[in-house]
Chains A and B, each alone.
Chain A
Amino acid sequence: MSKKNNENNGFFVRWWRQISYACRNVYNDIRQHLLTSILTIIVIAISIMLPTICYLLWKNVNEAAKQWYPTPNLTVYLNQDIDQTQTDSLIADIVKYPEVEKIKYLSQHDTLEEFREWSGFSEALDLLEENPLPAIIIVMPKDEAKKSVILAELKKKIQTLDKVNDVRLDDSWFARLTALTGMVETIAWTISLLMIIAVSLVIGNSIRLMIFARRQTILVMQLIGATEGFILRPFLYSGMFNGVIGALLALCMSQIFILRVDAIILNVSSVFGTVFKLVGLTFEESIFIILLSGILGWLSAWIAVRKYLQMTEQRS
């Protein structure tokens, strides 16, 4: 860039001055209408907070699902008359399936011991002459195979093997949980969509009020030779400012909400003897929400002002 451009009227210098003028404009406007601005920002913050909390709920239910509930296993019940070599070959067959991560073999003796420990019927069991419990193989599927359809296929395949009495797929919890997180996800999406519309409308409306209050200024600016960009700029900044500050406030409120709920959950989980910690928003997620909200503010302001300018153009 030549030295002359750097001095008084270089493009970037002028541009920077115009931007700072627009920023001062926004600042003055907020100071003049402090209460209105605060109310607008609070409405935006609440509108953003609701989907944020929904998202957190979904995220935590997912987290809880991973932490608390056993992965869906297939339990293979063997015939009573199976001998050791047959068992070994059966295990070898099952391990060969590509869906299988690992297996756990419990002999008749093991199952009896486990049952004794669990049920507390130890004396009663001693009365039995013969061990009534079958040996079992617990098949743990690989992560990518943890889908109801694949597991059902696997179940069918194992069922046909020799000396297998029965195969149970213990996925009722898994299915319920999948349905539950799916439902929370759908609700979160719906609410998010509605709230995005709400945020746009709120910002658009506040910008419309601002336009109304400054229509004389806009007219004079147009007469004096201001470009459309110059006229738009303070409104765009104002919309973006509302969006960003609203999002920051929403993040603060969500954090407070998380802390409050976390305290309650800590209480409950200590009664149940487990530890579950709520997951908050990550840094990236927070930045995403702030950016999204800022862009929304910018866009809705742009639409509102453009519409107004087009309207006045047609009238004149």
Chain B
Amino acid sequence: MAKHQHAHPVVDLRTSPYIRRAPSVPQIMRNVVYALLPVCAFSVYLFGISALALMIVTTLACLLSEQFFCRMAGKKSTLPDFSAVITGLLLALTLPPGFPLWMGALAGIIGISMGKLLFGGIGYNVFNPALVGRAFVQAAFPVAISTWTPTLAANRFSEFIPSTLALPFMTPAPTAEWSQTVAIDGFTGATPLALMKFEGVMVRTSDLFFGTTAGSAGETSALLILLCGAYLVARNMMDWRLPAAVIAGTAICAECFYLLDPDTYPTPLFMIFSGGLMLGAVFMASDMVASPVTPWGIVLYGLLIGLLTVLIRLFGGLTEGVMYAILFANAASPLLESFTQPKVFGDQ
């Protein structure tokens, strides 16, 4: 700034460009939180106060551990950038609604500390922190993480699912009996993917689309998740090619198997709308930091997630494969980026 009419002008120079118009990092992160809120609200509507408590606990765990580690490292608090809130909410949405709260808190702490701050905080994480937390509890608490409860239980707003309030390091109360008493009609305790895998039963795709089936808190309504993703795309805060590539990858791979043997393998539509695929495609795979920046890298990354998801679902030991598919793709992201560098304009 050139000071005018001054004996000893203070000159403070900087270089072009002098104007910028970009959403700031906190603005982007805040908008992702806004986009997640309807998904969270619908989850609370389906599963009641247990889901709400889980979200609050995981988010608090993420925020507190981020604050703690920032202070330990003597760095400025990174809480105002809102990225820890996203991790907390996403984590809750990937867990069963009746997941014991203390385990949820542990997942949050592990996700933030091992998945994010260990690598240097926002911008440096190799993996999606929420999925790191979930992968940890998947390994540590295999029973709790595959205990599902019915949607729309009559008393969901007045009492917790019995397992929710388990004390740390205690076996959570069994929920099977409770589920039978509160379910509107017959509840099998299995997600659509588990029904497909172990019993060969296909849930109607429309039920999946509107989200009234059992599952994690957030893997319910594909329609709602798509709408929330559309908001982010419209605000230019998410690359639409990424979720599109994940969905396309899933559809292509599932279609191949379906064509091979329509009796054994599910339809591509079922694959797309079941489990956590939609949540994973729209909110998890699209974690900017852990995904490639190059146009073709983004497409390959999405296709890879789709492919791995279908393979794990059909041939792996687990019913759901989205989490590991995304973690694998996160690890492959720098590699994908390195051989998809954009072709320079004018290069033949």
**Chains A and B are bound partners:** no
Residue ranges of B at the interface with A (Cβ–Cβ < 8 Å): none
A-side residues, CB < 8 A to B, are none
